[in-house]
Amino acid sequence: MDKPRSIVMLVQNGVVGDSRIQKEAETAAAAGWDVTLLGRTDGRAEEWTIGGAKVRLVPTGRDFDRRRHEVRRPWLRSPLAYPPGPLEHYRRKQVRAWRADLECDRARAAVAGASLPRLGLAVRSAAVTCASLWIGARTRSSRRVREARAAARGPAERLAAAWWRALLGDRSWRRLDPALWELELAFGPVVDALAPDLIHANDFQMLGVGARAKLRAAAKGRDVKLVWDAHEFLPGMKPWKDHPWWHAAQVAHEREFAPYADAVVTVSDTVAALLRGRHGLDEAPAVVMNTPDLAETAPAPEPSLRERCGIGPGTPLLVYSGAPLEQRGLHILVEALPSLPDAHAAFIVSKPHWRYVVRLQERAAELGVADRVHVLSYVEHRQVVPFVSGADIGVIPIHHWGNHEISLITKFFEYSHARLPIVVSDVETMSGLVRGTGQGEVFRAEDTEDFTRAVKQVLADPEAYRSAYEDGRVPLGEWTWARQAEVLCGVYERLIGRPGGPDREAAPQ
């Protein structure tokens, strides 16, 4: 039998907690392909397996998080400022050392019985004071420069951004966000060494890594296929980083490398149509929704959700499961609790230590509801559905952003398979579906009073909403990973053939 064709999957996170890429890797490996999933880490390299897929975390630097002008001395803008680097910190610490030495000598003089500071001590004290004032002034100047450069909202930064976009077009990301090079420098050599038959690049940042690896392979006579898995519609997403250049850089990067994809996969029909129009694709992307893998659903972890919250079966419990990002509106659950005196809120989040989560807990304490707010860590993706089924309501309180309007997000499917009534904000796609199926209630995004109304309405008669799952109004049979796996494997087979097959069909040009 021929050696199985190999697939390398690329993702810009640490793999753990990303159910979509885990299921994709497991699916491809179970079908017979030789799968290596490469993720990112800021620490040491790690390796493990998911099903039959190998997982490797690739150490990736952060040196390019600062743009080129941020590592240059601001001679014109602020000649008093220190040059970027360790000098500012060194000088501030040096003043502290001088002060410590001066205090020691004063104490020595006092022990010796001197009634007044000696002349030398007075001169040194004046010198240290002057140095401290001078270094303080330079430090303040340096801080203002750093803040202005980080905000990139000054005339010089706006002019620079416009210049690079006009001069370089889609290549401008190299100046606007050079941090994208960190992924290439870390992952590129690893992909080349693995020499895969197909590269599956998840999301927009890994698209460039996959495209460049495909081009290098072609230059050496190897035909490597590239699948781009677009998790969201980039123009409509809220930027990951609070920098005015970041979003434009990602959009330019995506436009430059999208033409190299042999096939595109995405998360919904709406996003597929938008991607096809934006990038002039010959065919609509294949839709692979991030639905639960019910074929191998694990039992609920112990202790159960309610046990972890310390509550019994009669206590109303609202659950949110997902990344704790401010635009996802988690804080509305906390704000509503004073008006829901019997209810508890469980946050099952990927990063319990993030500042936003800490602020939620601080706000709960201010409102006197801290004992009814429970922050829990993620469970394994196969356990999510049975785990959250212990709640009374699944909450999706996301705000109005372009991607939020068009998405059917992972937790929507998980709540549905858990047969939970869903309370969702009035983002277009999900609210329309919930109204159509009757599986929950819709509230005005960011409106605590209306959210409270919706929760009370569901709690008053939860079985009326659960019945939507029993009478077929909710198409649970379509929302399974088994259906999505068929689509994904079909894409792979069209590009590189069956896992051990000798031939493959030519990819459409």
Q: What is the 3-state secondary structure (H, E, C) of 72-103?
A: CCCCCCCCCCCCCCCHHHHHHHHHHHHHHHHH
Give me the numbers of helices (H) and strands (E) for the chain, helices first please. 19, 14
Confidence band of 117 (pLDDT split at 50, 70, 90): low
Q: What are 25-81's pLDDT values in tens digits?
A: 999 999 999 999 999 999 999 999 998 999 999 999 988 887 877 777 777 778 888
CA atoms within 13 A on the CB side of 83: 4
Q: Using one digit for the tens of pLDDT, what is the confidence trace for 325-377?
A: 999 999 999 999 999 999 999 999 988 999 999 999 999 999 999 999 999 99
Give 148's pLDDT tier (boundaries 50, 70, 90).
confident
Average pLDDT for 501-505: 50
Pairing of strands 225-230, 317-322: unpaired
- Reported as type and span, the H/E element at residue 2 is none
Phi, psi of 496 (to 5 degrees): -130, 10
Q: Is the pLDDT of residue 1 over 50?
A: no
What does the domain layout of the chain look like in residue ranges?
6-64+177-287, 68-160, 295-470
Give the lowest-confidence range in 119-123, 367-371, 502-506: 502-506
Q: How far apart are CA 94 and CA 89, in angstroms?
A: 9
- Cα separation, 70 vs 65, in Å, equals 10
Cα dist. 216→60, 69, 276 in Å? Answer: 21, 31, 26
Q: State the average pLDDT for the chain.
A: 91
DSSP helix/strand/coil, 356: helix
Domains 6-64+177-287 and 295-470 alike in fold: yes
Secondary structure of 187-247 in HEC code, one letter for each residue: HHHHHHHHCCCEEEEEHHHHHHHHHHHHHHHHHCCCCCEEEEEECCCHHHCCCCCCCCCHH
Lowest mean pLDDT among 236-245, 270-279, 419-428: 236-245
Residues paired with 53 in a beta bridge? 50
CA-to-CA dists, residue 39 to 63, 183, 353, angstroms: 18, 10, 21
Q: Are 206 and 11 in contact (CB under 8 A)?
A: yes
Q: Are 408 and 269 in contact (CB under 8 A)?
A: no
Distance between CA atoms of 294 and 481, rounded to whole angstroms? 7
The arrangement of secondary structure in 295-470, i.e. its CATH architecture, is 3-Layer(aba) Sandwich (3.40)
The number of residues making up the chain comes to 509
**In this structure, which amino acid lies at residue 508?**
P
Query: Quick one: which H or E segment has residue 440?
Result: strand 440-443
pTM of the model: 0.84
> Quick one: pLDDT at residue 81?
86
First to last CA, the chain: 30
- Minimum mean pLDDT among 23-27, 117-121, 377-381: which range? 117-121
Report the top-level CATH class of 6-64+177-287. Answer: alpha beta
